[in-house]
Structure 1
Amino acid sequence: MNDISGFSGLALSGGAGDDLTAKLAAFVRHREAFSPNTWRQLLSVMRICWRWTQENRRSFLPMSPEDMQDYLFYLESLGRSTSTISVHAALMSMLHRNAGLVPPTVSPDVVRAKKKINRTAVISGERTGQAVPFCRPDLNRLDAAWKSSPRLQHLRDLAFVHVAYSTLLRMSELSRLRVRDISRAADGRIILDVGWTKTILQSGGIVKALSARSSERLMDWINAAGLAGEPDAVLFCPIHRSNKITSVTEVPMSAPCLEDIWRRARRLAGEMHRVKTNKGRYSSWSGHSARVGAAQDMARKGISIAQIMQEGTWTQTQTLMRYIRMVEAHKGAMVGLMEMDNWPD
């Protein structure tokens, strides 16, 4: 069941099977309208939801509001976070819309069920998870340890974390960068032609500039790996234990391999204490850590919210505010009022 069309004849209500199959087939044909990650998430949610409907003798498509309520409460009973439950509801809603069906999530009963789940979770202590920030001092420590290393893995990992912190790109966006995306500014610093991001999809693309030190670290890696003459090669590629790149490849490294870079960085930093979490996630540096850390560092330096959003290609202010809420807490108007020097007695 790796394709949506494989679900079209399963657990359906009514006699609109042929029409529904045709609409689902059209949906599959145009799957490039969605990011690969969204598509993977959709298929995963569908498999979980379909299994639940089969085990409980419910209809998968269309799904009634009553069944949707029960499905969401089922996810809650498994201990799923409110954000995960919201993703399930949103993706099942998307599936219904693209199948020409009324999403069950528009029902007031389902809306109330979601509010109940959220309220219960918040009152019981659930908090939104956040990646452990990777900040400028962390980058400086790694730079001092790895910049002169004879190991290609260290040079690659150092270049990767420099680019991740300097550009605030998401991990999947970093993995797509190629040697041909590099150009030089008049002062010799590197400019990266990113092309597109999760939130910016336009023909003009976006560019990211690196500092002099980050430019140097990236070129150290490229020259050591012999990638300078390979314009189509991805910037960050696998390395064999013999201290040579596995091969010049045009295929991006997988997410687990990129996450390993952050795990090695954490071990080197010697900060193996675990951060307390609600769901066992974000106990160490991960793919989003550089985005969070860079955003917090900019906030500490007084850079405006609009500028930070532009650097991180965020489109929603609330997303950024979750990352910098601890930094911004002591900049509130009430704190400033209470700490005024001329406060009257």
Structure 2
Amino acid sequence: MADMTPIAGLIATDGHDIAERLREFVQDREAFSDNTWNQLLSVMRIGSRWADEHGRSFLPMSPADLRDYLLWLQASGRASSTVSTHAALISMLHRNAGLVPPNSSPQVFRAVKKINRAAVISGERAGQAVPFRIGDLLTLDQRWSDSERLQQIRDLAFLHVAYATLLRVSELGRLRVRDISRAADGRIVLDVAWTKTIVMTGGLIKGLGDLSSQRLTEWLTLSGLNAEPDAFIFGPVHRTNCARVETSKPLSTRALEDIFARAWQEAGPGQDARSNKNRYRGWSGHSTRVGAAIDMATKKYSTAQIMQEGTWKKAETVMRYIRHVDAHAGAMVDFMDQHIKV
């Protein structure tokens, strides 16, 4: 987005300084991921509509108005994590407009604490993707590795790379054939230009094991993409069982999510998983990251190692995924097991 259209309507006619700062903000939108920017636009639409309907100001927003807005979001059925996202993005918008964020007020702090406490007491739990474990990958490998359908060969290679690298769906989608090199033993090395949390000129290097290297090689050979360095690795497959060379745009998130849906139909437990916040009824784009993290924790790899593999910046995120793995490894469980005979 190159203009001020979504923001212009939020600014008072005399807010020339604010308008100029926001214009600079929009010009530098490439500093943020598409997901963050789209979330910001969504918060702006919802927040400005609320402000209009309730006779409040969205920009700048007073602490009292922000408190009422966050409580309104909660009363409207939004999860506490969604409410926190709105608060954080409103703060970001104010900072970039040169305004004091209303979030710094104790009034808002108490409101957020109240919302989080009410959510926990009411039984709200953080949503989590259904884990895609190593056993699931090997089951699919047995079923799809000799398939005559090119789509299944591509899907299997994609799932191998997704599990082995712990990359996010968008990061997997933009990998190109030219990003592939080979180690001395023939295994594949992927040069990942950047991730959600790592944006630097050196990029990120991911290596694949023997089986994953073999499956990706098979896909590239059968599809003919080996000779197309600018092509996205995981491109479309035509209904005539031929791969289409795509160099302009990667597969959509929906198309990549469909790979997980087909895998679930093939090798899932046979029925939808228990609903998790009305989502996550089967494998989804985050499932390989969650499953790989759980498998690594089960094999006693350290939290730091798991964070490095998944490019997570916060240990709390990893701990949320693996919290059930070491549930019986605590000091108190060990103490009681040693002193109580059943």
TM-score range, shorter chain: over 0.9
Q: How far is the alpha carbon of 1:181 from its aligned partner?
A: 0.7
Q: How far is the alpha carbon of 1:57 from its aligned partner?
A: 1.8
5+ unaligned residues in a row in structure 2: which ranges?
none
RMSD between aligned residues: 1.8
Match of 1:336 in 2: 334
2:29 matches 1:31: yes
SS in 2 for 1:240: coil
Question: Deviations along 1:286-313, whole A, 9 cap, x unmatched?
Answer: 1110011011111111111111111111
8 A Cα contact 2:11 2:19, kept in partner:
no
Match of 1:142, as an amino acid?
Answer: L
Match of 1:118 in 2: 116
2:9 matches 1:10: yes
Match of 1:56, as an amino acid?
Answer: H
Distance 1:223 1:99 in 2: 52
8 A Cα contact 2:225 2:245, kept in partner:
no
Question: Deviations along 1:241-292, whole A, 9 cap, x unmatched?
Answer: 1212234334111111111000000001142433334520122111110011
8 A Cα contact 2:165 2:208, kept in partner:
yes
SS in 2 for 1:329: coil
Distance 2:264 2:191 in 1: 29
For 1:27-176, what aligned pairs fall within 5 Å after superposition? 27-176=25-174
2:293 matches 1:295: yes
Q: Between Structure 1 and Structure 2, how many residues are aligned?
A: 342
Distance 1:4 1:339 in 2: 65
Match of 1:252 in 2: 250
SS in 2 for 1:191: strand
5+ unaligned residues in a row in structure 1: which ranges?
none
Q: How far is the alpha carbon of 1:222 from its aligned partner?
A: 0.7
Question: Deviations along 1:43-67, whole A, 9 cap, x unmatched?
Answer: 1111111111122221111011121
Give the TM-score normalised by structure 1.
0.95
Q: How far is the alpha carbon of 1:343 from its aligned partner?
A: 6.7
Give the TM-score normalised by structure 2.
0.95
Selected match of 1:312 from 287, 290, 310: 310
For 1:191-210, what aligned pairs fall within 5 Å after superposition? 191-210=189-208
8 A Cα contact 1:10 1:60, kept in partner:
no
8 A Cα contact 1:11 1:58, kept in partner:
no
Change in 2 beyond 3 A, CA 1:7/1:242? closer
Distance 1:89 1:4 in 2: 24
Distance 1:245 1:272 in 2: 30
Deviates more, 1:143-152 or 1:51-60: 51-60
Distance 2:114 2:70 in 1: 11
Change in 2 beyond 3 A, CA 1:31/1:181? same
Distance 1:48 1:318 in 2: 29
Match of 2:278, as an amino acid?
Answer: G
8 A Cα contact 1:4 1:24, kept in partner:
no
Change in 2 beyond 3 A, CA 1:233/1:324? same
For 1:228-267, what aligned pairs fall within 5 Å after superposition? 228-267=226-265
Selected match of 1:324 from 318, 322, 326: 322
Deviates more, 1:212-221 or 1:324-333: 324-333
Deviates more, 1:306-315 or 1:238-247: 238-247
8 A Cα contact 2:228 2:245, kept in partner:
no
Change in 2 beyond 3 A, CA 1:51/1:4? farther
Question: Deviations along 1:17-53, whole A, 9 cap, x unmatched?
Answer: 1111111100001111111111111111111111111
Distance 2:89 2:113 in 1: 18
8 A Cα contact 1:227 1:248, kept in partner:
no
Q: In percent, how many aligned pairs have the same letter?
A: 59
SS in 1 for 2:206: strand
Distance 1:107 1:181 in 2: 48
Distance 1:272 1:213 in 2: 26
